[in-house]
Amino acid sequence: MAASAQSHDMVAIAAAAADAKGGEDLIALDVSAPLPLVDAFLLVTGRSERNVAAISDEVEDRLLEAGHKRLRREGREESRWVLLDFGDLVVHVFHEQERHFYGLERLWKDCPTIPIELPAPASAE
């Protein structure tokens, strides 16, 4: 079973929010086959604890504005690995070191990716 259209929309909202706050190395994975209660993971890297906090706050705000309910948030105090659980979508915002250490991409390498289309950066003229 593939991730739902709603999950794809949630990934797009979360990815745009993460990108707006300087999130890097965005990868969305369709985990609907091995995980019956979750459709997608979005993995994002922040360069510092402050950046991880800003990214996770923006993602959370934008998904809430779009009418999605947050079920759980973990790790915000330390801001080294923040997990935002929105049911169909779980967003993982990592500090660089934690992302490399835990290697979720390696753990879920058999899952297909979900394409992410980010808005083009505004040109400075």
- What does the pLDDT look like over 78-107, one tens digit per residue? 999 999 999 999 999 999 999 999 999 999
pLDDT score at 121: 67
Is it the case that residue 19 has pLDDT exceeding 80? yes
- Domain locations in the chain? 5-113
**CATH homologous superfamily of 5-113:** Beta Polymerase, domain 2 (3.30.460.10)
pTM of the complete model beyond 0.85: yes
Q: Which band of pLDDT confidence, cut at 50, 70 and 90, is reported for residue 119?
A: confident
Name residues whose C-beta falls within 8 Å of residue 88's C-beta, 6 or more positions apart in sequence.
3, 4, 6, 7, 10, 38, 39, 40
